[in-house]
Amino acid sequence: MTPLEIVGVTLFILVLMFGAFSILFGLPGTVIILIDAAIYAAATGFERIGLKILATLLILSILAELADFAVGMAGAVKFGASRKAFWASIIGGLIGVALMAPFFLGLGAVAGGFFGGFAGVLTVELLRRNRLKPSLRAAWGATLGRAAGICVKGGLALIMIVITLSTVYN
């Protein structure tokens, strides 16, 4: 391998890992992995990663994003959160990420996403119900659903990485 090829492959692998890690921050990491694989495939003339692999990665990426949304919604609804509360969880999570990102070397964004989502659901449910206990239960359910969604999405992202790297190095 030439030095340029080594740099390219290293960058390719780093972006794959960034895609998996970015899921913790609520970013669409599976899409990052898919785009990275597509760029690598195009750069190598579709020699190692072909259209079948890219189609498989596209399907897995779509499934991961839908599963993340569905599992998060199911967790929130199971514990009694309304649809408005679910959307407040997403908005609160984004605000929490933005506010907490500067702390703990950027890892505060992870905690901010969870705390912000919790606060968003709690606020909406308190306004809707005027009772603390069911509102806390709904907020906890939304937080658990978000965590479960991240786990499912992360698992599918790891499967995408394994497929990609096993195809490249096979």
Give me the domain span that covers residue 106.
3-168
What span, in angstroms and rounded, lies between the C-alpha atoms of 51 and 158?
A: 20
What span, in angstroms and rounded, lies between the C-alpha atoms of 162 and 121?
A: 36
pLDDT per residue as tens digits for the range 36-63 = 999 999 999 999 999 999 999 999 999 9
pLDDT per residue as tens digits for the range 132-163 = 999 999 999 988 988 999 999 999 999 999 99
pLDDT higher than 80, residue 20: yes
Of 80 and 35, the one with more pLDDT: 35
Of 106 and 125, the one with more pLDDT: 125
What span, in angstroms and rounded, lies between the C-alpha atoms of 140 and 22?
A: 23
* Core vs surface per residue 2-16: b (16+ CB within 10 A) or e: eeeeeebeeebbebb
Q: How many domains does the chain have?
A: 1
